[in-house]
Chains A and B, each alone.
Chain A
Amino acid sequence: MYNIFDNMIMGFQVATSWENLLFCFIGVLIGTLIGVLPGIGPTTGIAILIPVTFGMSATTAIITMAGVYYGAMYGGSTTSILINLPGESASVVTMLDGYQMAKKGRPGPALGMAALSSFIAGTFSIIMLTLLAPPLAGYAVSFGPPEYFCLTFMGLTLVSALGGDNPLKAYISSVLGLLISCIGIDAISGVSRFTYDNMNLLDGVGFIGMAIGLFAVAEILENMEAPIKQVFSDAKLGFLSLFPNKQDWKDSFGAIWRGSFLGFFIGILPGSGATLCSFIAYAVEKKLSKHPEKFGTGVIEGVAAPEGANNAAAGGGMVPLLTLGIPSGGATAVMLGALMIHGLRPGPMLFTTNPEFVWGLIASMYIGNVLLVILNMPLIGIWVQLLKVPYKVLMPLILTIAATGIFATDNNIFDMWIMFFFGVVGYLMRKLGFPEAPMVLALVLGRMVEMSLRQSLTISHGSLSIFFTRPISGVIMTVALISLFSPLFPILWRKYKGRRSVA
């Protein structure tokens, strides 16, 4: 047992120096702002900060960047809940129930639960990181291509949980999303597919532009159908009603823990990302719920689970980065690059060669989480005032902030056209009863699904048995297949019973 207690004391000594405290605060503040703004997410935020961190010591630099990373996870939920505009990709799922809660006059509890669930899950994942990081390094690499394929495939089969009452339409929506993810250059062979010599399409269809189009723009268009009125019913904005009440806590308790757990353990796997974690946490919550039909109409578990999961994933993502020097996603990859510039070489040796750095960072994450709650709870009071702004004023604001945020992610005007296109598509989908969430999930997972599928089949020379003969992939695949065919069971059961009653 390496001495965690001593190490943590040392870590807190490093993290509580005035300089590190200050930059931790600045980091989470910037992170919150970046999270709130649509489009630009933690990856862009950290990249913007890299030049600023050159003057700092490596420890202060990583503390600041980590602050931005999990700060963005907190902030991302705000606009999702208030105006159906995803702050960053990991908070797309939070919209499904969060926005409905806001519409029903309960924006306060939704925002409060998002923040508190984030806090609990964030702290949980840091405790796990503290206690288990080195042993978990082995787990992080235990997933090979077949396991990744099964995991992402399972994620796709859960999409029926994201749809409305028609599973067929949910599946069509996700197949379309997967097809869209094939647009662009194939990462294995380098062949360009469905691009028609359009340079902008080589990179594929931007996820954030699509999500903002499908959700935020389509929502605005739908609101234009009736003469402009106040979309949000009169919110009770008394002080106490801003916070989740006893019933909310009772409803969310299990969701927060399951979300934390799933988020952390899926978040550790390199390449999985916080978005996948939040999707899976939401789908699992709906499958386990006693009233799954209420999901999507504004239940608080639907906010607590994904928000917990994406924050826990932020902590989980630090495990392979610190123990193996392998980034778990875009944001941690940028952090890795920054560490190298500071002369640190993350890898298995980091815990022994630079303990003050590792433990200082971990201790600062505890502090940062507390700072975020202190920062965010009073902000809720201000945010909900936003809904008192007449919708006719809010509507232009939402459209322009969405367009600007999308442009800012890649400095690319084409992404704005993506938003425009999917705004129209999203409106049609709403009218035709197709859910948007499965399409968005499919686009996020698409490239991972294809890469891992083709890698696996290359390893096995084309045999599908590779997905069933390995223990982890076998179990996940079985769960996925059950989940895929579960909508059929009630139908078959009814037919069976019907036939028996006839006989």
Chain B
Amino acid sequence: MKKADMITGVVLLALSGFAIQETWRMPASATFGPGPAFLPFWLAVILAIFATILFVSAWRRPATEEDHHSIFPGKTALIAITLVMVGLGLYIFLIEVVGYLADTFLFIVFLMKAVEREKWPLTLMVAVCTTALLFITFQFLLKITLPSNMFGF
């Protein structure tokens, strides 16, 4: 955690520096009170102070046994996590191209086959049931127009 906290501190410090620099470009107030840059500027200053405290206290703290372990899980776990996020990203990216129905169906199939390595029958059953359930609830019960593809579904 020691090293992680130090890195976090530096990242947050950079973030606050960036925010402060952004607030310089905001225009002055048109009322008798503070303008648009007021709150973000002071928030960034407070963030910088907190980040420094985080960094310094982590730096001065003696390293414990725990600090030598990485905070992140092993390789297999990271692959699984990445797969889920890549799948989710593709799902969102493709939803207006492929259409809600097909996209949701494919996403669930992907999650269960590629990530969980399930058998086909269960995968298909879950994919069809979930997609149908969501589609019926949102499109028909709540009358929300879900994204559709060029063929209209």
The interface of chain A, by Cβ under 8 A from chain B, is 33-34, 37, 40, 48, 168-169, 171-172, 175-176, 178-179, 182, 186, 188-189, 191, 193-194, 217, 220-221, 224-226, 228, 392-393, 395-397, 399-401, 403-404, 407-408, 411, 413, 416-417, 420, 423-424, 427, 431-433, 449-450, 453-459, 461-462
Q: Name the interface size band of chain B.
A: 35 or more
B72 near A178 with CB under 8 A, answer no
Q: Choose from B32, B50, B54, B84 the contact partner of A220 (Cβ within 8 Å).
A: B84
Q: Choose from A395, A433, A453, A456 the contact partner of B39 (Cβ within 8 Å).
A: A453
Q: For the complex, would chain A's binding face be called helix, strand, loop or mixed by DSSP majority?
A: helix
Residue contacts A-B, CB under 8 angstroms, 21 given? A48-B143, A171-B50, A176-B47, A179-B40, A179-B47, A189-B35, A191-B27, A193-B36, A217-B88, A221-B84, A225-B81, A392-B118, A400-B107, A400-B131, A403-B91, A404-B146, A432-B1, A454-B31, A456-B33, A457-B34, A462-B34
Q: Choose from B47, B143, B144 the contact partner of A175 (Cβ within 8 Å).
A: B47
The residues of B that contact A453 with a CB separation of less than 8 Å are 34, 39
Measured CA separation A432–B88 after assembly (Å): 23
B81 to chain A, nearest CB (A): 5
A28 to chain B, nearest CB (A): 16
Question: B153 contacts the other chain (Cβ, under 8 Å)?
Answer: no
The interface of chain B, by Cβ under 8 A from chain A, is 1, 4-5, 8, 12, 19, 22, 26-27, 29-36, 38-40, 43-44, 46-47, 50-51, 53-54, 57, 71-73, 77, 80-81, 84-85, 88-89, 91-92, 95-96, 100, 104, 107-108, 111-112, 115-116, 118, 122, 126-127, 130-131, 134, 137-138, 141-147
A326 to chain B, nearest CB (A): 23
Measured CA separation A190–B126 after assembly (Å): 48
Measured CA separation A296–B100 after assembly (Å): 36
A221 near B85 with CB under 8 A, answer yes
B92 near A413 with CB under 8 A, answer yes
Chain B residue at minimal CB-CB distance from A431: B71
B33 near A457 with CB under 8 A, answer yes
A114 to chain B, nearest CB (A): 22
The residues of B that contact A228 with a CB separation of less than 8 Å are 116
B81 near A400 with CB under 8 A, answer no
Q: Choose from A226, A396, A420 the contact partner of B107 (Cβ within 8 Å).
A: A396
Chain A residue at minimal CB-CB distance from B39: A450
A175 near B31 with CB under 8 A, answer no
A189 near B130 with CB under 8 A, answer no
B138 near A404 with CB under 8 A, answer yes
Q: A37-B137, A172-B54, A392-B116 are in contact. Are A407 and B146 (CB under 8 A)?
A: yes
The residues of A that contact B36 with a CB separation of less than 8 Å are 186, 188-189, 191, 193
10 closest pairs, A vs B, by CB? A458-B33, A186-B36, A225-B77, A225-B73, A457-B33, A396-B108, A396-B111, A224-B80, A191-B36, A182-B40
B85 to chain A, nearest CB (A): 7
The residues of B that contact A450 with a CB separation of less than 8 Å are 39
A427 near B81 with CB under 8 A, answer yes
B130 near A224 with CB under 8 A, answer no
A432 near B5 with CB under 8 A, answer yes
Measured CA separation A179–B85 after assembly (Å): 25
A217 to chain B, nearest CB (A): 8
B111 near A417 with CB under 8 A, answer no
The residues of A that contact B89 with a CB separation of less than 8 Å are 420
A355 to chain B, nearest CB (A): 35
The residues of B that contact A226 with a CB separation of less than 8 Å are 77
Measured CA separation A477–B128 after assembly (Å): 55
Q: Choose from A194, A433, A449 the contact partner of B1 (Cβ within 8 Å).
A: A433
The residues of A that contact B12 with a CB separation of less than 8 Å are 172
Measured CA separation A401–B19 after assembly (Å): 35
The residues of B that contact A420 with a CB separation of less than 8 Å are 85, 88-89, 92
Measured CA separation A189–B51 after assembly (Å): 30
B77 near A224 with CB under 8 A, answer yes
Measured CA separation A169–B145 after assembly (Å): 41
Chain A residue at minimal CB-CB distance from B125: A393
The residues of B that contact A169 with a CB separation of less than 8 Å are 54
Q: Choose from A176, A221, A393, A413 the contact partner of B95 (Cβ within 8 Å).
A: A413
